[in-house]
Amino acid sequence: MGGLPAELAALIWRRDCPGCGAPGEGVCPDCRIRLRAVPHRVGTVDWPPTFAAGPYGGPHRAVVLAAKSHHRSDAVRVLGEVTAGTVRHLVAEGAVADPRLVPLLLLPAPTRPSAARRRGGCVVLGACRAAAGSLTAGGGTVRVGQVCRLAEGARDSVGLDRVRRRENISAALRFDTGTLAQQAAWVARTGATVVVVDDVSTTGATVRQFSLACAARGLRPVAAVVVADA
């Protein structure tokens, strides 16, 4: 009986690497190196310029699944670190202003509320919050604005071509007008940079249509970052 609490804790709080399952606490050294690879431009998105930390395979895929399918909070934090690393790369390349000099607003891509509940919270929102914490560790201002969700009755995009995916996403966007107005006013007042964040890009429809809708409402992204490009 004395070992039961520890055994239960091991089931609830996984201690293996979320990227490959190797024993030990946290991301293993090999996965850490692979997750820090130089981000690449996603070719399926014409606007905004979208950058992926890696392909949808290996540790990138495993960490996304650990967060979304296995509800691992440590994996969500890893997604945040990967997102922050991509933002830092864009800052170094001059594509995004340094948040120590110009405030930054991260906009998590929308998801269905029911999906967020099944996962114990919105994974992309959690990743954005973790990224904001990492990016402000050395100073600066980074805000996270959840301004939109997807309608529960939205049609599944699987099997749709690119044009129909875009139409489907556009019809499913539901903006929180109060939060949107607050974030747009803050961006207008501070000159903050806006960046959209998502976990995986397939056709790029979600990032593109969400970004276009945000731009039409006063929040024009300069870039988007995703953990993986499928």
Q: Which of 33, 128, 18, 36 is nearest to 72 (CA)?
A: 18
pLDDT of the residue at 118: 93
Pairing between strand 104-108 and 142-144?
A: parallel
- Give how far Cα 156 sits from Cα of 107, 110, 213, Å: 22, 14, 20
97 falls within a domain: yes
* Residue span of the structural domain in which 212 resides: 38-229
Our CA angle for 76, 212, 201, nearest 5°, is 40
Query: 126 in helix, strand or coil?
Result: helix
pLDDT of the residue at 2: 46
pLDDT of the residue at 161: 80
17 falls within a domain: no
pLDDT of the residue at 12: 54
21 falls within a domain: no
Instruction: Provide the CATH number for the domain around residue 123.
Output: 3.40.50
Q: Which of 223, 228, 203 is nearest to 90 (CA)?
A: 223
Q: Which of 117, 105, 115, 190 is nearest to 147 (CA)?
A: 105
23 falls within a domain: no
The residues with which 175 forms a beta bridge, in sequence order, are 148
* pLDDT per position as a tens digit, 191-212: 999 999 999 999 999 999 999 9
Specify the DSSP class assigned to residue 158. Answer: T
Which pTM was predicted? 0.92
Compute mean pLDDT per 10 residues along the chain, 230 residues long, and list them. Answer: 48 79 95 98 93 98 97 97 99 98 98 93 98 96 98 76 88 97 98 98 94 98 98
Burial class of residue 45 in the structure, from the number of CB atoms within 10 Å of its CB (0-12 exposed, 13-18 middle, 19+ buried)? buried
pLDDT of the residue at 45: 86
224 falls within a domain: yes
153 vs 151: CA distance, rounded Å: 5
pLDDT of the residue at 152: 92
Task: Give the pair of three-digit tokens for residue 75.
Answer: 């994996």
Please list, in sequence order, all residues whose beta carbon lies within 8 angstroms of the beta carbon of residue 28, skipping any fewer than 6 positions away: 17, 19, 20, 22
109 falls within a domain: yes
173 falls within a domain: yes
76 falls within a domain: yes
| Domain tally, the chain | 1
For 169, phi then psi, to 5°, come to -65, -45
